[in-house]
Structure 1
Amino acid sequence: MNMRHLLCGLLLAAAAPCASANTGVAFVHGTGSQTNAYQDYWQPAMVDSVRQGLANTGNYVVINCDFTQYMWDSRAAGCLAGQLSNFISSKGITRLIVITHSNGGNVIRWMMSNPTYDSRYPNIISKIVRVNALAPSSAGTPLADAVINGNVFETSLGWLLGYKSDAVRQQQVSWMAYYNANYLYGTSGRPALPKPFRSVVGTDVDSSPFDGDSYCGGYTENVGLETTQNWLDSCSDGFLNCSSQSAAGSVWFQDKSRTAGAEPLSHNQSRRACFTLDTILRNDLKL
C-alpha cells in the first residue's frame, strides 16, 4: 500500500464516526407539571430557533413531565427516562445534547448520578454528549425554604415555585446540600458526572418599565423576580443565587459575558429567546 492510499484510508476511518452520527436535542423543563412545554414553558421562538443548529431539524424533543415531584419519582425522572428513551429509539439518536432549565438540571443529574436506579438510564447516559443547564438549581434556593415555611412567599411566588410541592421542598438549601453529599454527583468533593454538565449563570434582573429589555420573557415575571432578589445574594437571577447555579459541573458562561448588549438573564429569561441566548445554544448544537 502506498502512502497516498494509507492517508486516504486513515481519513475515511476518522470521518466515519462523524458521518454516522445522528445528533438530537432534548429540552427538559424545570419545576412544574407540563403537558405542553413547547408552548407554555420554552415557547416556540426558543425551541424553533435552537433546533435550527441540527443537521436534521426534526431531531428534537420537548419533554413534558411532572416535575412537581421529587427528582427520583417515576413521574419525574421515570417520565424523563421514558420520553428520552423513546426519542433516542424512534429517531436513531447517537449524540444527545440536553438543554435543561432550573430544577430540570437536578432531575437529569439524578439520572446521571444513579445509573443503576433504572434500567433505561445507562443507554440514555451513553448517548448524552453534554448537558447545557440554564440556571440550574444545583444547590437549592432560600426562596424554597421561604415557601415551605409558609411566609409571604407562599402567595407571592406561587406562579414560580408551584406552591408546596415536593420539588420545591427538595430545593430547600439544606435538602439540596444533603442530596449533593449523598446521592448526586458533580458538586465539590463528589465524583464527577459521567458527561459534561455546563451551567449558564444568570446574574441579575432588569425590570424597568422604560427598558424594552425588561419585557423579554414577560415583564410581570421580571418585576416579581427583581422583588425576590432582595432576599438573595447580589449575584442572582431573582430565583437562584449565582453560587447555586454554579455548584454542579462547570460554568459555561455567566450571562453578561456573552449575551447581546451584555444583558443579564433573569430566571424567566434564561428559558426564552432573550438577548441571543437561543443563538448561542443553536450554534452549540453544531459542535
Structure 2
Amino acid sequence: MKIIKIIAYAVMLYASNSLFANQGLAFIHGTGNQTDAYNDYWTGEFVNSVKQGLSNTNNITVINCDFDKYMWDTRASGCLAEQLTTFINNKNITQLTLITHSNGGNVVRWILSNPTWDSRFVKIINTVTKTIALAPSSGGTPLADAVTTGNTFETTLGWILGYSSDAVKQQQVGWMAHYNQNWLNGTPNRPALSSQFEVVVGSDVDSAIWDGDSYCGGYQYQVALEVTQNWLDNCSDGFLECSSQSLAGSVWFTDKSRTRGSEPLSHHQSRRKCFNLDGLLRNRI
C-alpha cells in the first residue's frame, strides 16, 4: 500500500509540473550576422507553422546574433545568452526548446558544455529541456577547409559560408575535432549534454529542373548545393556530410525516413517549410 501511495504521489507531482510548466521556443540561426532572422533566415511561414505546437504561441523568440564569430565570442554565444536570458525572464519560461540550424548547434553546445564560461549560462542550461538541431555542423565540413585555403572555390561557396569568417575557420574538420575533444560535450567519448540534443540529418540534394520538389526554398540554392556536394560524401545535404550532422547528440531522423514523399532535405531546405518538416517539428515540441 505504501509503495502504491509513493507511485501515485510521483505521478501527481509529474502531472503538476507538466501542467504548470511555461514552455518557450527559440529559433537559433546558423553562420552569418543576422539582424532579421525571422524573415531572412527562417521565413515567417516556417516559424509561424512550427510555433503552433506550443500551448502559448506567444512564447517564442527568434535570435539575431553575429554567428560569423567564433562560438565562444561575446558576439556569438554571449549574444545568444543575452537574448535567451531576456526571453526566459520576460516570459517566465520554465521549459525551453531550442531549434537550431547548422553552426547554430555549435554555439548552443558551447553554452551547454561550458557553464562557468559566462554567468548567464547556468540559468539557460537549467531551463533548456531539448534542442532540435537541424543539420548541425557538429563535425565541421570539408567545404570550410576548401574556403579557408583561399582558392577560387570561394566564389561558389561565398553565399553559403561568408568566405573566410571566424565561424567558417571554426568549422574546418580538424578544428571541430579539437573542440569536440576538449570543449564541447555530446560527442563520442565526451560527457553527455545536460538536456536532449536531437538531430535531423539531411542526406541528399535534388535539383532536377523537371522536379517541382527541387523548387522548395528556392531552386538556385538547390543547384549550388548540388555542385558543392561533389566535394562531400555521397550522404550529404550539399554542405554537411551526414557523419558530421549526426556526430553530437542522437539522431531523431534522417530526412527521407519521415519527410513527405520521402524527399531529401538540402542544407537550405532544412530551414524552410519543405516536405512537412514544419509539421514534424510542430508535433515534436
State the TM-score, normalizing by the size of structure 2.
0.96
Q: Percent identity?
A: 64
Hey, what's the Cα distance between the residues in 2 that align with 1:130 and 1:11? 22
Hey, what's the Cα distance between the residues in 1 that align with 2:197 and 2:153? 30
**1:151 offset after TM fit, Å?**
1.6
Q: Corresponding residue for 2:124? A: 124
**1:12 offset after TM fit, Å?**
4.8
Cα deviation 1:84-107 (Å, max 9, x = unaligned): 000000001011000000000000
Equivalent residues in 2 for 1:1-287 (5 A)?
Answer: 12-285=12-285
Hey, what's the Cα distance between the residues in 1 that align with 2:16 and 2:240? 43
| SS across alignment from 2:30 | coil
Q: What residue identity is the alignment partner of 2:31?
A: T
Number of residue-to-residue matches in the alignment: 281
Cα deviation 1:197-240 (Å, max 9, x = unaligned): 11100000000111110011111011000011011000000000
Root-mean-square deviation over aligned CA pairs: 1.5
Q: What residue identity is the alignment partner of 1:151?
A: N
Hey, what's the Cα distance between the residues in 2 that align with 1:89 and 1:82? 11
Q: What residue identity is the alignment partner of 2:59?
A: N
**1:6 offset after TM fit, Å?**
10
Q: What residue identity is the alignment partner of 1:262?
A: S
**1:194 offset after TM fit, Å?**
1.0
Hey, what's the Cα distance between the residues in 2 that align with 1:77 and 1:179? 15
Hey, what's the Cα distance between the residues in 2 that align with 1:14 and 1:73? 38
| SS across alignment from 1:157 | helix
User: Which structure 1 segments of 5+ residues have no match?
Assistant: none
In structure 2, the CA distance between the partners of 1:266 and 1:12, relative to structure 1 (3 Å rule), is: same
Q: What residue identity is the alignment partner of 1:60?
A: I
151-160 or 134-143: which moved more?
A: 151-160
| SS across alignment from 2:273 | coil
